[in-house]
Amino acid sequence: MPEPRHIIIGTAGHVDHGKTVLIRALTGVETDRLKEEKQRGISIELGFAPFRLPDGTLAGVVDVPGHERFINTMLAGIGGIDLVLLVVDANEGVMPQTREHLQILRLLQIPRGIIVLTKCDQAEEDLVDLVEEEIRDEVAGSFLEGAPCCRVAAIDGTGIPELVRTIAEEVRRIEPKPADGPLRLPIDRHFSVAGFGTVITGTLLSGRVGTGDQVEVLPRGLQVRVREVQVHGRKVETAAAGQRVALNLAGLDRSMLRRGTVIATPGIFTQTRRLDVRLGLLETAPRPLRFRDPVHLLIGTGRAVGLVALLDRDVLRPGESALVQIHLDRPLVAHRQDRFIIRSYSPVTTIGGGSVIDPRPARHKRFRDEVMQGLKELESGERAFLLQKLQELCCAGLRELETASGLGRDRIEDHLQALAESGLVEELAGQWTAGETFRHWQKLLLNAVRKWHRDQPLQPGMAKATLKGVLPGQLKQKGFDALLNRLLVSGELVQNDEWLAEKGFEIRIDPAMQKQLDRIVELYRSAGPQAKNHREMLGQIGMTLEQAEPLLQLLFNQGILVRLNEENFLHADSYRKALDLLKNHFADEKTLTLAQFRDLFGSARKQVQALLEYWDAKKYTLRQGDERVAWKLPE
């Protein structure tokens, strides 16, 4: 069974051109709720109404204020709509707010629209024709060029059936919003209901929300439970992207909310004070933008004052666009590809807008080719964005990529699979990295092992734990194991126990070195239980520790010597004798003291202490005060 379609329809147009009356004629709902709205006859706040289309689709309608003083409120409601009704009074024609609303609609890239001429019963037909022609000229080159135009008289219902049919036809062409992505719901209204607590409303931009869900309140960072979900006044278990919803949130005080707050999937979205964007300045902007000029930025239902950091120029002129970084005076929640509006700081008027490229960027230096190239790559598409983020993060899991991109997990996995097939990304046990990074890491590991062979020619290879240390800490152990396994499968490295070596590597011992090895082996064999610390032992044959250290390590690796600690070795024959003594002792006794074993083994106190501590570390024995008991003796 196909998913039901969820559509949001919005109005736009000059004050008193009949938007609210039109909505009442379409839906039967009076969207002006406030006493002041009814007294003044104009909309001040956003209004909402359900609208049942002929095919049964239940659309949400957002009625926005038309007065220039309430443009911020209009922007809070217009984001997230799928279809706009541009309302123009047939008697007055195009007016200042008609033009500003049209500019905003173009900047926000609203996908589809219908031109609606209202109050046609109060105007001569010739005048209505002229007004339609004027509107056609005004919308030329915009998304409304070629859009249907409907003539109505909302009070007596003339033209309303034709408008409903036209809306239904346009709705069928609209792509649904992504219900599989993370939840994101910008708040446009919040209030308290006696006996229920805090209620918020908004247009669900992506994902789903259901009763009992844990959601995050941003930018507060609080997690709260959804007590109840309503769509158009009806209680539902789940709401999906594209619907107008009301949520009753448990344990949240209304004073903690404001317009601009976002309800989201926990851990996915974060607040930001910096945005990388593509910014376009309207041709009608009164003056150019200069470096660090302040502007009012409006995104979703949020707003902030931002300083525009032009990255590749000193001046952005009307009609131009550029890649810029905007520094905000307050945290906002943004997502890649969100559309936004900028208004001049003073006097306040709409001057431009654009789209978010990166909602969590680093601070950029100006006039850097690598910065501009990176931004262009991020701008080029979702796959390019994910690839760029992987290069920045070194490696990341799906959860981190969800947080960075705001995309749904299924969509991210599809993109990563396509990138992997092209060799642009690699998966390492649930972590993803850019293909270039993956190949660089392979070279790092191979070079580290080669250098180890040069510096430590008598060791069989490099310890696995040591080798992992050459890579960034973000790569988890399982990811490192997967990377290493690729080199083992390809034969570029070989593994023996915990030692990793280049293919074909062999320890080469010349006659002179063999002679030194033989002297050390005979030294420790002869000393037996009386072997002292290595400096004293080596002094007997005239060798320094620096000369003998690689040879001692080789003999230890070969199992000829046993390293008890940093200073003491035993010949393997002596060690096996000591271990047999230990097992025999515990066959008859329950405890063992250092003095007892010193007498059994015939060695000095320091050497016996080193030996017993070695067995404690291997869990052969367990120390209890001055005594030891058997723990996990070997067979």
pLDDT in tens, 342-386: 999 988 888 999 999 888 888 999 999 989 988 887 787 888 888
Establish if 442 belongs to a structural domain. no
pLDDT at 556: 86
Establish if 319 belongs to a structural domain. yes
Average pLDDT value for residue range 385-391: 83
How many Cβ atoms sit within 10 Å of the Cβ of residue 140? 10
Average pLDDT value for residue range 87-99: 91
Q: Quick one: 370 and 380 in the same domain?
A: no
Average pLDDT value for residue range 143-159: 93
Q: Quick one: 71 and 148 in the same domain?
A: yes
Between 618 and 47, the more confident residue is 618
Q: Quick one: 520 and 394 in the same domain?
A: no
pLDDT at 252: 86
Q: Quick one: 538 and 613 in the same domain?
A: yes
Measured distance CA(272)–CA(329) in Å, rounded? 10
Lowest pLDDT segment from 373-387, 478-492, 617-631: 373-387
Establish if 450 belongs to a structural domain. no
Kindly list the distances between the CA atom of residue 632 and the CA atoms of 353, 495, 601, in Å, as whole numbers in the listed order.
72, 29, 21
110, 142, 173: which is the final residue of a domain? 173
Residue 114: which of 62, 151, 72, 80 has the closest Cα? Answer: 151
Measured distance CA(472)–CA(321) in Å, rounded? 38
Strands 112-118 and 149-151: parallel
Measured distance CA(293)–CA(307) in Å, rounded? 6
Per residue in 231-286, pLDDT (tens digit) is 988 999 999 988 889 999 998 888 888 878 899 988 878 788 999 999 999 999 99
Measured distance CA(35)–CA(588) in Å, rounded? 97
Average pLDDT value for residue range 473-480: 90
pLDDT at 66: 43
Average pLDDT value for residue range 332-349: 89
Between 311 and 544, the more confident residue is 311
pLDDT at 260: 80
Question: Best-predicted range by mean pLDDT among 297-306, 311-320, 530-539?
Answer: 311-320
| Cα 361-365-367 angle, rounded to 5 deg | 120
Q: Quick one: 239 and 293 in the same domain?
A: no
Q: Quick one: 368 and 379 in the same domain?
A: no
What CATH number has the domain bearing residue 64? Answer: 3.40.50.300
Quick check: pTM over 0.75? no
353, 374, 395: which is the final residue of a domain? 374
Q: How confident is the model at residue 76 (pLDDT cuts 50, 70, 90)?
A: low
Q: Is the pLDDT at 199 greater than 60, yes or no?
A: yes
* 564 neighbors 604 (Cβ within 8 angstroms): no
- Name the burial class of residue 366, with classes exposed (0-12), middle (13-18) and buried (19+) by CB atoms within 10 angstroms of its CB: middle
Q: Is the pLDDT at 36 greater than 90, yes or no?
A: no
Q: DSSP assignment, residue 158?
A: B
Establish if 45 belongs to a structural domain. yes
- The number of distinct structural domains making up the chain is 5
Q: Which two tokens stand for residue 345?
A: 């700081």
DSSP string, 185-249: EE-SEEEEETTTEEEEEEE--BSEEETT-EEEEETTTEEEEEEEEEETTEEESEEETT-EEEEEE
Establish if 362 belongs to a structural domain. yes
Q: Quick one: 227 and 345 in the same domain?
A: no
Mean pLDDT over each residue of the chain, to the nearest integer: 87
pLDDT at 178: 67
pLDDT at 38: 41
Between 534 and 44, the more confident residue is 534
- Provide CB contacts within 8 A for 515, sequence distance 6+: none
Q: Is the pLDDT at 631 greater than 90, yes or no?
A: yes
pLDDT at 79: 65
Q: Is the pLDDT at 305 greater than 50, yes or no?
A: yes
Q: Quick one: 20 and 150 in the same domain?
A: yes
pLDDT at 219: 82
Q: Quick one: 206 and 344 in the same domain?
A: no
Measured distance CA(6)–CA(380) in Å, rounded? 29
Average pLDDT value for residue range 434-444: 91
The fraction of the chain above a pLDDT of 90, given in percent, is 50
DSSP string, 398-456: HHHHHHHH---HHHHHHHHHHHHHTTSEEEETTEEEEHHHHHHHHHHHHHHHHHHHHH-
Measured distance CA(555)–CA(595) in Å, rounded? 30
Establish if 329 belongs to a structural domain. yes
Measured distance CA(326)–CA(277) in Å, rounded? 7
Residue 130: which of 146, 113, 117 has the closest Cα? Answer: 117
Establish if 390 belongs to a structural domain. yes
Q: How confident is the model at residue 549 (pLDDT cuts 50, 70, 90)?
A: confident
Which helix (H) or strand (E) element contains residue 125? helix 125-139
pLDDT at 1: 41
* 613 neighbors 595 (Cβ within 8 angstroms): no
Establish if 43 belongs to a structural domain. yes
Q: Is the pLDDT at 31 greater than 60, yes or no?
A: yes
Structural domain of 19: 7-173
pLDDT at 35: 43
Q: Quick one: 557 and 611 in the same domain?
A: yes
pLDDT at 591: 94
Q: Quick one: 285 and 225 in the same domain?
A: no
Q: Residue type at 277?
A: V
pLDDT at 429: 93
How many Cβ atoms sit within 10 Å of the Cβ of residue 248? 19
Q: Quick one: 42 and 149 in the same domain?
A: yes
pLDDT at 128: 92
Measured distance CA(494)–CA(71) in Å, rounded? 68
Q: Is the pLDDT at 570 greater than 50, yes or no?
A: yes
Q: Is the pLDDT at 43 greater than 50, yes or no?
A: no
pLDDT at 294: 97
Between 181 and 581, the more confident residue is 581
- Provide CB contacts within 8 A for 453, sequence distance 6+: 461, 501, 502, 505
The fraction of the chain above a pLDDT of 70, given in percent, is 94
Measured distance CA(330)–CA(295) in Å, rounded? 13
What CATH number has the domain bearing residue 280? Answer: 2.40.30.10
Q: How confident is the model at residue 13 (pLDDT cuts 50, 70, 90)?
A: confident
Based on its alpha-carbon atoms, the radius of gyration of the chain, rounded to whole angstroms, reads: 37
pLDDT at 71: 56
232, 264, 296: which is the final residue of a domain? 264
